[in-house]
């Protein structure tokens, strides 16, 4: 037998022996997440960023969205949480750009049955889209120019598969502040709703987003003390990432920092920052444990303080309803009186007619707005705040 045939025979024999010892995988089988040793910590880098993707409002929107994937990839996060990616087309561009850098799993909650959310998540690790839950409060705006009412505020929940098991991943964006209404009670209610969602402690949790409130304010404090989360970036800035242990996986915060704050040159030739918010980048370490200890609650009375604040905010509703409906009635009476007294003065100058129509339009707008506040906004707001306060009055299910 020629020597070449002998070598081929032994090569085939060795391959067959290897396949018997370890079953050969199919060519098209999906890649599984490698299982880590129980005593081997696993790093997990998470980025959360409000990317300022408001159509018709944000400057250089198209060029900035195009630059996002490369800027994010340079930081090499394992998981990316973005807020304010409103347009489905922008989400698709970011998804395609991140895929070139190895982020093969993504979810853009551009349109849900509750409305637009602006929430986007991408991951190098397998990512499963679990659900989106809207907040009870903040669904309607105090004023029509408060654009929050266009979106659906809530929390997007995902599950990322790591070598140490699943990690629950959540992305959120709380109510913004405006000059005519700070929406402080709405943000406190929304923070309370987040903790009420966290009744299952079986999985470790990573919660990122734009909370529109500083670490020293009550909504952020409520998350710390009520849900026993840890704030990785305790600062006056609104963006942060919270973490919490699971029953069998502990999360240690290794490092946290702000990122993506430097101006860059865009494809349209403009040099500017990529967003009006800095990104938050956190390095975490996951480790297995048989029974992970829970964080110590620093203020056992904060749950009652939060509930009381919501009840107080809802209790002022009758007074505000009376003021709003009374103002609406006064504006309507003024509009009717002006119309009747001036309707026969058609021969007056153009300036007079213009002022008359403008005044009637302003009175009508004021009537519609104040009637909306008294008949719809304040009652709906009080109902939502009261609902969350009742949930807080129940003992936590642990």
pLDDT digits (tens, 9 = 90+) for 204-254: 999 999 999 999 998 898 888 666 789 999 999 999 999 999 888 999 999
Q: Of 235, 270, 299, which closes a domain?
A: 299
Helix (H, G, I), strand (E, B) or coil at 362: helix
What's the confidence (pLDDT) of residue 204? 92
- Whether residue 114 is predicted with pLDDT greater than 90 in this model: the reply is no
Helix (H, G, I), strand (E, B) or coil at 205: strand
Q: What pLDDT was estimated at residue 397?
A: 59
Low-confidence winner among 56-60, 172-176, 179-183, 244-248 (lowest mean pLDDT): 179-183
Cβ pair 256, 10 in contact under 8 A: no
Give the pLDDT band (50/70/90) at residue 33: low
Is there a domain that residue 161 lies in?
yes
Q: What is the pLDDT of residue 20?
A: 36
Which structural domain, as residue segments, surrounds residue 314? 308-393
In this structure, are 69 and 123 located in the same domain? yes
The pLDDT of residue 18 is above 60: no
Q: What is the mean pLDDT of the chain?
A: 84
Number of domains the chain contains: 2
pLDDT band at 182 (very low <50, low <70, confident <90, very high): confident
Same domain as 273, residue 186? yes
Query: In this predicted model, which residue has the larger pLDDT, 348 or 256?
Result: 256
∠ CA 200-202-206, nearest 5°, is: 80
Residue 18 lies in a domain: no
For residue 25, is it within any domain?
Answer: no
Please give the C-alpha separations between residue 155 and each of 48, 131, 136, 193, 284, in angstroms, as whole numbers.
14, 8, 11, 9, 22
Tell me what pLDDT residue 115 has: 79
Q: Given this model, what pLDDT does residue 347 score?
A: 63
Q: Encode pLDDT of 37-51 as tens digits.
A: 556 899 999 999 999
Final residue in a domain of this structure, among 246, 267, 299: 299
Q: 96 and 163 share a domain?
A: yes
> For residue 36, is it within any domain?
no
Above 60 in pLDDT, residue 296?
no
Segment holding 125, helix H or strand E: none
What CATH number does residue 83 fall under? 3.60.10.10
Which of these ranges, 52-56, 67-71, 249-253, 255-259, has the smallest mean pLDDT?
A: 52-56
For residue 394, the model assigns a pLDDT of: 79
Q: Does pLDDT of 295 surpass 80?
A: no
Q: What is the mean pLDDT of residues 97-106?
A: 96
Residues 47 and 88 in one domain: yes
Considering the domain architecture, whether residues 234 and 339 belong to the same structural domain is answered as no
Report the C-alpha gap between 45 and 256 in whole angstroms: 10
User: Looking at the domain assignment, is residue 9 inside a domain?
Assistant: no
| Mean pLDDT, residues 79-94 | 95
pLDDT at 11: 45
- Lowest mean pLDDT across 55-59, 68-72, 82-86: 55-59
Output the six-digit token pair for 258: 């702000």
Examine the domain organization and report whether 213 and 349 are in the same domain. no
pLDDT in the model for residue 6: 39
Query: Sign (positive/negative) of CA torsion 373, 378, 380, 385?
Result: positive
Residue 274 clears pLDDT 70, i.e. is over it? yes
Q: CB–CB of 392/311 below 8 Å?
A: no
Residue 275 burial (C-beta neighbours within 10 Å; 0-12, 13-18, 19+): buried
> Side-chain half-sphere of 331: how many Cα atoms within 13 Å?
19
pTM: 0.84
Do 211 and 280 fall into the same domain? yes
C-alpha to C-alpha distance for 364 and 380, rounded to whole angstroms: 23
Amino acid 1: pLDDT:
45
């Amino acid at each position: 037998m020629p020597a070449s045939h002998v070598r081929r025979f032994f090569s085939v024999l060795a391959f067959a022996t290897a396949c018997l010892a370890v079953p050969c995988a199919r060519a098209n089988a999906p890649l599984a997440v490698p299982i880590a040793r129980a005593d081997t910590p696993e790093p997990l880098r998470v980025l959360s960023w409000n990317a300022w993707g408001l159509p018709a409002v944000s400057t250089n929107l198209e060029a900035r969205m195009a630059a996002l994937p490369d800027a994010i990839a340079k930081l090499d996060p394992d998981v990316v949480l973005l807020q304010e990616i409103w347009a489905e087309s922008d989400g698709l561009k970011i998804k395609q750009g991140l895929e070139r850098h190895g982020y093969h799993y993504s979810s853009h909650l551009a349109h849900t049955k509750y409305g637009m959310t602006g929430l986007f998540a991408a991951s190098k690790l397998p990512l499963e889209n679990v659900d989106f839950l809207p907040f009870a409060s903040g669904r309607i705006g105090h004023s029509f120019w408060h654009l929050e009412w266009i979106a659906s505020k809530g929390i997007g929940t995902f599950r990322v598969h790591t070598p140490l098991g699943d990690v629950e991943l959540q992305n959120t964006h709380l109510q913004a502040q405006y000059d005519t209404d700070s929406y402080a009670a709405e943000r406190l209610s929304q923070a309370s709703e987040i903790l009420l969602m966290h009744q299952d402690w079986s999985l470790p949790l990573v919660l990122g987003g734009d909370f529109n409130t500083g670490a020293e304010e009550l909504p952020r404090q409520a998350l710390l003390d009520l849900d026993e989360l840890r704030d990785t970036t305790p600062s006056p800035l609104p963006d942060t990432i919270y973490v919490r242990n699971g029953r069998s996986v502990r999360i240690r915060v290794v490092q946290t920092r702000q990122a993506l704050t430097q101006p860059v040159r865009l494809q349209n030739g403009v040099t500017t920052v990529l967003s009006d918010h800095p990104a938050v980048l956190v390095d975490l370490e996951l480790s297995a444990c048989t029974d992970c200890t829970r964080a110590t609650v620093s203020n056992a009375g904060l749950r009652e303080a939060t509930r009381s604040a919501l009840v107080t905010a809802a209790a002022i509703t009758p007074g505000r309803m009376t003021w709003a409906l009374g103002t609406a009635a006064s504006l309507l009476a003024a509009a009717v009186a002006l119309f009747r007294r001036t309707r026969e003065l058609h021969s007056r100058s153009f300036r007079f007619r213009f002022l008359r129509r403008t005044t009637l339009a302003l009175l009508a707008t004021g009537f519609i707005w104040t009637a909306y506040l008294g008949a719809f906004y304040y009652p709906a707001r009080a109902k939502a705040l009261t609902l969350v306060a009742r949930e807080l009055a129940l003992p936590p299910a642990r």
